[in-house]
Amino acid sequence: MTNFGDIVDCIDINKQLAFDHPLLKNHKLQRKPSFQKSNGKTSVKNSPTTPIFGLDKDQCPTGTVPIRRTTKDDLIRGKSLLNNHMMTQNILGVHIAEVFLQPQFGPYYGVSGINSAYNPRVNRMDQISASNLWVQNGQIYDSNKIAAGWHVHPHLYGDDATYLYSAWTSDNFKKTGCFNIRCPGFVQTSKEYYLGARVRNTSIYGGIMFDLAVSISQDPVTKNWWLNMQNTNVGYFPAALFSNLASADRVGWGGRTRTPLNTLSPPMGSGHFPDDNFVHACYFKFVSFKNASRQNCGPEKYQTQVFTDNSYCFGVEYYGKQGVEFGYSLQFGGPGGNCGN
């Protein structure tokens, strides 16, 4: 049991839920990505702060992985999440502030960045506030997508804490995909970090920043998409899950909120608009993408597009290269409120 009362089970790595997926019946477990360097570290730039999630002191024994136990209440709350997914394109009640790379500069084989973690206040069980980066391919109606970051999602967890999460789909969440491991799909390989872990410490406006290094990268050999957090490979999304994700035509960074129709939106990020002060609005720093040569590149301003659906509620700014302290970076967020549907 974690310090927060969440129960985590150490499960045989070969018997985890992912292998119940019909497309993964004969899947061969990949224990580490082919691009991992011999010292066990990846090329993702790490955050200087201490880990803010995961098992506190213990790791699961070799051959097992930590899986957050799903309770009966979790299952009851989670039944309605698929068709109501906030990552779905063009859904009412969802508000967005994002930076993304345009398709003409692709294809893309990875995305990374260091993201400040906050605990935005939600006022209802059915509201969500999230920060993530993502890879995506295909048209809106059948979009293949993987996203990862942190969110506040009371309907999913039963409280208003901040949690580490990932989500995937191969059809714009019509029939496939879920958060974390609420359905078969994601293959866990880390003995320490796991999806659905509570974020221990969150940033305070104008004060101490706690941030999280995140990347999603395709393995050039197996074509599986690896999720890395704090320079540790958490696991991967097998290529077989996807109908159209041999590469991505868009990658991006930013935030989303969701609220029922005709209700006030919760805040996003720190709850403050971008102002080029990195202890104010939520940030992604040292952002990069993997190009066709599998090199990590910082996005130039002309390659990016910024989008917010309601600039009175949320803002987003891409600053480009900001020197050695922040690298290629952006800010997003805002107070929410009466943002329309």
Nearest alpha-carbon partner for 182 in 208, 210, 202, 163: 163
Q: What is the band of 57 on the pLDDT scale with cuts at 50, 70, 90? A: low
Contact 10, 64 (CB under 8 A): yes
What string of DSSP letters covers 184-205? S--EE--SS--TTPBPS----T
Q: Say whether pLDDT at 224 is over 70.
A: yes
Pairing of strands 162-169, 144-152: antiparallel
What value does the mean pLDDT of the chain take? 88
Kindly list the distances between the CA atom of residue 105 and the CA atoms of 101, 129, 339, in Å, as whole numbers in the listed order: 7, 30, 32
pLDDT digit string, tens, across residues 70-127: 766 655 555 555 445 555 556 788 999 999 998 999 899 999 999 999 999 999 999 9
- What average pLDDT does range 219-228 have in this prediction? 97
- Percent of the chain with pLDDT strictly greater than 90: 67
Compute how many other C-beta atoms are within 10 angstroms of the C-beta atom of residue 98. 23
Amino acid at 115: N
Q: Say whether pLDDT at 215 is over 60.
A: yes
Kindly list the distances between the CA atom of residue 275 and the CA atoms of 237, 306, 325, 333, in Å, as whole numbers in the listed order: 36, 15, 17, 10
Nearest alpha-carbon partner for 332 in 38, 51, 95, 78: 95
Q: Say whether pLDDT at 45 is over 70.
A: no
40 or 138, greater pLDDT: 138
User: What was the pLDDT predicted at 270?
Assistant: 97
User: What was the pLDDT predicted at 5?
Assistant: 62
Q: Say whether pLDDT at 334 is over 90.
A: yes
What string of DSSP letters covers 94-137? EEEEEEEE-GGG--B-EEEEEEE------SSTT-EEEEEEEEEE
Pairing of strands 211-218, 187-188: unpaired
User: What was the pLDDT predicted at 6?
Assistant: 73
pLDDT digit string, tens, across residues 249-302: 999 999 999 999 999 999 999 999 999 999 999 999 999 999 999 999 999 999
Amino acid at 76: I
The b/e string for 18-54 (b: 16+ C-beta within 10 A; e otherwise) is bbebeebeebeebeebebbeeeeebbbbebebebbbb
For residue 262, is it left (φ>0), alpha (ψ between -120 and 50) or beta?
left
Instruction: Find the range with the poorest average confidence among 13-22, 23-32, 77-86, 295-304.
Output: 77-86
| Positive/negative CA dihedral, 50, 54, 58, 61 | negative
51: which 2 tokens? Answer: 């880990």
42: helix, strand or coil: coil
pTM above 0.85, yes or no: yes
| Positive/negative CA dihedral, 245, 248, 254, 260 | negative
Amino acid at 226: W
Q: What is the band of 54 on the pLDDT scale with cuts at 50, 70, 90? A: low
CA atoms within 13 A on the CB side of 218: 28
Helix (H) or strand (E) holding 75: helix 72-78
Compute how many other C-beta atoms are within 10 angstroms of the C-beta atom of residue 234. 25
**CA 22 from centre of chain:** 25
User: What was the pLDDT predicted at 168?
Assistant: 93
